[in-house]
Structure 1
Amino acid sequence: MTIYFLTGSQHLYGSETLAQVAENSQRIVAALNGAADIPAEIIWQPVLTDSDLVYRTIRAAEADEQCAGVITWMHTFSPAKMWIWGLSILRKPLCHLHTQFHRDIPYGTIDMDYMNLHQTAHGGREFGHMCAKLGVRRRVIVGHWASAQVQGALSGWVRVALGIASERRMKVARFGDNMRHVAVTDGDKVSAQMTFGYQVDGFGVGDLVERVDAVADDRVNGLLEEYQATYDLADNVLPDGDRRDHLAYSARLELGLTDFLEEGGYTAFTDTFEDLHGLRQLPGLAVQRLMGRGYGFGGEGDWKTAALVRTMKVMGEGLPGGNSFMEDYTYHFEPGAEAVLGAHMLEICPSIAVGKPRIECHPLGIGGKADPCRLVFDGKAGPALNASVVDMGASFRLVVNTVSGRQPAAELPKLPVARILWEPQPDMATGVTGWIYAGGAHHTCFSQNIGADQLVDYATFTGIECVLIDEHTKLSELRARLG
């Protein structure tokens, strides 16, 4: 994927100045492309000097399927009326880079030629005024383009643009419906496609069963060898263990799921323990490993969370830490050490694990199927967040809570699921109370590598409301805002 770099100027300054503008903007683009943490190629576009050129360049960006977004920079003053036509058709994410070619004022030599060339200070304000007047959704980044701070902010914005681009092509497969009588996992799929771009398709579990049953034994055996080389294995799933056949079926499930999703072009999916007809197990290990490969997932038919997990995985690709389907499961209310234990029945992504996961097979007292296999591990401690997209009826809302992950105070020998402990910010009572007032779901995407600023950008560019609960949150102000 690519990002277009648009430089604004005008013919008033003459050909010599415009040539310098072009050279300077090309040097900035080359430097940004040389920055290791910007995850897309930035494509320089010829300097924009009139309305027709602005329109044709933005139209080309919109038509280019490989273009995820647009960066604009006003090197000189660029009269904003010439941007109206082009900005009116822009739908892809826009980053207004309010920078300057030279970092410092050359006090001893500065003259009017320098001033006429380096006019970001007021050229960017002219452009910003027009964006505000048109209601253009945008991210504004201020500072020198060579600074680590600005490049880091640009990298974060690019990741958001890539996530949104992937969402516009995303397909979510639902095996069965959502868990019966549950409100928050349901919602308006048509409105979701209109808002986010992804489509949600429903399938009978029998469609999946056909793929699972068709998997050849040699593929199953090959995957069992991969499990052996990748994870620690509990005794009962070793070659001579009494649950080895359960592990073999888990491998078959993973291969069948993979075949189904790849054939249909699906990058996210859901299932539910209430609709497993024809499957021997609730998929656990298979789901965990598919998430580890970048797929989105939501339990109990939760397609909104499945899509969000996939989008956030795209945003965080290549960064330390991971993103996983998550559920606030149980609380620790010890004074001074309050925390949430996050987990699910089976399906937590190993990308958030600390240490080497272990494959175990245990009974599952729900769903009425054979004992499923799953990866068991603790999540990494450190800064993280939980994010939830909810359907509020007339619109969608993104609820985000920053958290501090920490290691459990003791071993959990009788809890055979992947899990992580965290403290909500700004504190347990405020974080949890705010989440409930905002209508956040019990399912989330738990992220160790996506920042709250990026999710605010995501909400901006998708046109949905964002409720952020972080270290600065005051409950009275949040309640007043929510009404």
Structure 2
Amino acid sequence: MPIPNPTPSDHEPIKDRRPRIGLLGIMQPLYDDMIPGITERQADYAAQVAASLSETAEWTVSPPVRGRADAERAVREFEAAGLDGVMVVMLTYGPSLRVTRLFSQMRLPVALANIQPDPAVSPSWDMADMTYNQGIHGAQDTANAMVRAGLPFEVITGEWQSAEFTARVDRWARAARAVTALRSLKVGVFGYPMNGMGDARVDETAFLRKLGPEIEIIAPGALHRTMAELPAEAVTELMEWEDGAFEVDERLSKEEREDHARMQLGIERLLEATGCGAYSTHFDAIGEDGRFARLPMAAASTLMAKGYGFAGEGDVLAASVVYAGHQLAGDGHFTEMYAMDFPTDSILMSHMGEGNWKVARDDEPIRLIKRPLGIGGLDDPPTIVFRYQPGPATLASLVALGGERFRLVVAEGEVIDAPELPDLEMPYGQFQPATGVRTCMDAWLRAGGTHHMVMNTGARAEDWRVLCELADIEFVQV
């Protein structure tokens, strides 16, 4: 059942579409007289490569680039079309000085696919076959130009018809989509961040310059007004959807549910109006305002499930990395480490009540409960409660190191099928690091990993590594 979206919007959740990638095929006119028709032949090769990768991305293939003007025109068209990245393929050798200035001004994430039409050298080859398959030394010349230009890029060497090559392109394309999305991201902060929380603080101008997210402060009063203006029909529609999606606590009154629904719809409407793809709320900013009855706990859970980034306590770093987790791996989940469980070599993961229910166990109902909460000093907030699905999972923390230096700390492991904790009325699960709790936590703390993070299902460390390569930030796996 789709989550209702009663606010008018042309927004397409970026995590729900394939990456959009341009293929830039490079060659030169030198071989035209020697091998008539070579340009057309190699253009067909580029089209075959794109077609073989059609499940990984939507491809726009440029005409073969044979000079500087061709290259610059093709990339301008990629940028104007709003593509997520550019994959460079050497169709023959092409001198790098024809693309050197282009790479010094490149705005889209780049991969250099070091491939050739034929996977093997054959005794039947003649000079034409040598020319068709000589991309490797063009890749060397071109990569040298990228390095000199200081351009971050990924390299993918392999047989273009192979499953391994497809998997690597898929990983890079998702990372390119995430990096491009971060560069245009706005993060809404309702009120102000939590006082004293140092690992969530960042120089917002340095953050904007290096990674792209822009911080938008949203007054709590704007949320209060928006809630009041919502039509009753939208509130009713959301509540009816929740009745079908969740096991709803009978103790929840109609008034409590309506107020929660207005908060969720009001937050989403303001995010749409301000162009924010991620947001953060802080319980004191809501609680001390004086106009709100409760905290928007369930709202955060369902908005994360719709593809918004989220973090608590005004943490824009964590909200941004949750958003990136949606684009990179799907269904980013905001969480933190609560306690270590040494007998199972695992860590209890949870947060105050916010969590993406898309990562919930598939053998238990997701519950919407009436839940007492002293933090914030307000009435009981309706809260969505579930346990994490057991299986492989990855944690990632975005660390601000000062200035334009950023680090991503990543841990792979597994959500274990641990015993239920019946009195814990929050989303939760136990994460067992692949390196063990002691080794993982020693390294996490040495690297400055923050206490808010994103969790994705699956082994995703290599995905995050490629994102860091393209974003030119440090990657640390613990």
Verify same fold: TM over 0.5. yes
SS across alignment from 1:187: coil
List per-residue Cα deviations over 1:228-280 (Å, max 9, x = no partner).
1111122312xxxxx44322221121111122112222111111111112211
Superposition deviation, residue 450 in structure 1: 6.9
Partner of 1:435: 444
Partner of 2:197: 182
Partner of 2:340: 331
d(CA) in 1 for partners of 2:182, 2:81: 13
d(CA) in 1 for partners of 2:116, 2:74: 22
SS across alignment from 1:153: helix
d(CA) in 1 for partners of 2:246, 2:280: 25
Contact 1:459 1:466 in 2 (8 A): yes
Partner of 1:342: 349
Contact 1:59 1:89 in 2 (8 A): no
Contact 2:104 2:146 in 1 (8 A): no
- The equivalences for 1:269-284 within 5 A come to 269-276=279-286, 277=289, 278-284=291-297
Alignment of 1:76 onto 2:103: no
The 1:180/1:289 distance shift into structure 2, 3 A limit, reads same
Partner of 1:11: 29
Alignment of 1:407 onto 2:424: no
Partner of 1:305: 318
Superposition deviation, residue 454 in structure 1: 2.1
Structure 1: stretches of 5+ with no match in the other structure:
238-242, 470-483
Paired AA for residue 181 in structure 1? G
Superposition deviation, residue 158 in structure 1: 0.9
Contact 2:53 2:166 in 1 (8 A): yes
SS across alignment from 1:43: strand
Contact 1:172 1:269 in 2 (8 A): yes
Extract structure 1 runs of 4+ deviating beyond 6 A: none
> Structure 1 residues 15-24 or 41-50, which shifts more?
15-24
SS across alignment from 2:199: coil
Q: 2:273 aligns with which of 252, 263, 284?
A: 263
Partner of 2:156: 141
- The equivalences for 1:223-242 within 5 A come to 223-237=238-252
Q: 2:73 aligns with which of 32, 48, 56?
A: 56
Superposition deviation, residue 382 in structure 1: 1.5
Partner of 2:359: 352
d(CA) in 2 for partners of 1:217, 1:129: 61
Give the paired residue count.
451
Superposition deviation, residue 217 in structure 1: 2.7
Paired AA for residue 38 in structure 2? T
d(CA) in 1 for partners of 2:385, 2:231: 27
Q: 1:99 aligns with which of 99, 115, 135?
A: 115
d(CA) in 1 for partners of 2:136, 2:285: 60
d(CA) in 1 for partners of 2:440, 2:397: 14
Partner of 2:14: none
List per-residue Cα deviations over 1:163-215 (Å, max 9, x = no partner).
12222221111011111111011211111111121210112212111112222
Partner of 1:208: 223
Paired AA for residue 21 in structure 1? Q
Contact 1:167 1:196 in 2 (8 A): yes
The 1:218/1:50 distance shift into structure 2, 3 A limit, reads closer
SS across alignment from 1:411: coil
d(CA) in 2 for partners of 1:130, 1:207: 50
d(CA) in 1 for partners of 2:150, 2:230: 52
SS across alignment from 1:77: coil
List per-residue Cα deviations over 1:134-162 (Å, max 9, x = no partner).
32211111111121111111111111111
Superposition deviation, residue 227 in structure 1: 0.9
d(CA) in 2 for partners of 1:331, 1:244: 39
List per-residue Cα deviations over 1:292-336 (Å, max 9, x = no partner).
00001010000111111112212234xxxx3111111111011xx
Contact 2:247 2:367 in 1 (8 A): yes
Paired AA for residue 180 in structure 1? N
Alignment of 1:421 onto 2:430: yes
Partner of 1:472: none
SS across alignment from 1:441: coil
> Structure 1 residues 373-382 or 452-461, which shifts more?
452-461
SS across alignment from 1:4: strand
Partner of 1:397: 407
Partner of 1:474: none
Paired AA for residue 166 in structure 2? Q
**Percent pairwise identity:** 27
The 1:347/1:110 distance shift into structure 2, 3 A limit, reads same
Alignment of 1:151 onto 2:166: yes
d(CA) in 2 for partners of 1:259, 1:10: 52
Superposition deviation, residue 359 in structure 1: 0.8
d(CA) in 1 for partners of 2:29, 2:81: 31
Partner of 1:26: 47
Alignment of 1:86 onto 2:102: yes
Superposition deviation, residue 110 in structure 1: 1.9
Instruction: Provide the alpha-carbon RMSD of the alignment.
Output: 1.6
Paired AA for residue 261 in structure 1? L
Superposition deviation, residue 290 in structure 1: 0.5
Q: 2:262 aligns with which of 239, 247, 252?
A: 252
Paired AA for residue 99 in structure 1? I
Contact 2:89 2:115 in 1 (8 A): yes
Paired AA for residue 415 in structure 2? G
Alignment of 1:67 onto 2:77: no
Contact 2:391 2:458 in 1 (8 A): no
Contact 1:59 1:90 in 2 (8 A): no
Paired AA for residue 56 in structure 1? R
d(CA) in 2 for partners of 1:308, 1:206: 27
Partner of 1:477: none
d(CA) in 1 for partners of 2:45, 2:384: 52
Paired AA for residue 302 in structure 1? D
Superposition deviation, residue 72 in structure 1: 0.6
Alignment of 1:169 onto 2:190: no
Partner of 1:374: 383
SS across alignment from 1:261: helix
